[in-house]
Amino acid sequence: MTPERLEELRQVAGGVDGPKSDWMDELIEEIDRLRRESAAFTPELQDVAAERARQNSKWGDRSFHSDFAWLSILVEEVGEAAKAILKSAPQEELYNELVQVAAVAVAWMEAMRRRGY
């Protein structure tokens, strides 16, 4: 969101009477905060975050997995990256496999936190 658009939204929010204007102003501030935070993520981290969202959508919460199960899942993903290298796959395929490796590692870390790490 550009600073100009942010100011435009603030003006619109200021033109609404009552508690709705406070709510809109808070929403605009939150949108701006999220924009600033997302700008700190590299494209690679954004790809990993998108993969995590896809995984969560597909499988839901998997924090019940043991560390052994997570290790098995991670090694399987690393194996797919290795296979892409060995068969001289296009770089895009290797990149996508590495995104999955990173996303599984993040999922494992999330599960550890949920379990009270």
Average pLDDT, the chain: 85
Q: What is the pTM of this model?
A: 0.67
Query: Do 31 and 1 form a contact (C-beta atoms < 8 A)?
Result: yes
Query: Distance between CA 109 and CA 117 in Å, rounded?
Result: 9
Could you give the angle at which helices 91-114 and 43-59 cross, rounded to 10 degrees?
60
Q: What is the pLDDT of residues 26-76, one digit of tens each?
A: 777 777 777 777 767 788 988 999 999 999 989 888 889 999 999 999 999
CB count in 10 Å sphere of residue 70: 19
Nearest to 25 by CA among 35, 15, 36, 10: 10
DSSP string, 73-86: HHHHHHHHHHHHHH
